[in-house]
Structure 1
Amino acid sequence: MVEIVRTNDLVLVGFLQSLLENANIPVLVADMHMSALEGMIGAFPRRFLVPDDDAAQARRLIREAGLGGELRHE
């Protein structure tokens, strides 16, 4: 698994998860349940993890959606 995005933006979390799942790219949104501990203040970013084999396609989809600036460095 490789981390491709890290964000506190819950709208972006939902959009990216939908984008990747609709492209049949398995995605794990890590730290999603930290919100219960933090009180929904956005202190802990959510991390998007995809299989190594799907990382290039996931990055391409995110760039094509105009969100290339959200990508972690390769």
Structure 2
Amino acid sequence: MKELLRTTDPTLIPFATALLDGEGIETFAMDVHMSTLEGSIGILPQRLMVRREDHFRARAILRDNNIGLDG
């Protein structure tokens, strides 16, 4: 697994997951429950992981949908 996205925006992970699922790319959200423990403050980032072989295509899909990626 390789990290695709890291964000404190609680709406971005579900949106990115839906986009990638629609393209047949499996995702795994990490740290989702840790972020909700802090309430709606959003201090702890959530991460979205994909398989290494899907990473390049997943980045392109998110870029095409105006989801900014660092790095």
TM-score norm. by structure 1 comes to 0.85
**2:60 paired residue number:** 60
Asked if the contact 1:31–1:45 (Cα under 8 Å) also holds between the matched residues in 2, the reply is yes
The answer on 1:47 being equivalent to 2:47 is yes
Moved more, 3-12 or 33-42: 33-42
Aligned length: 71
- Unaligned stretches of 5+ residues in structure 1: none
The answer on 1:72 being equivalent to 2:31 is no
**2:38 paired residue number:** 38
Identity of aligned residues (%): 38
TM-score norm. by structure 2 comes to 0.88
Structure 1 outlier segments of 4+, above 3 Å: none
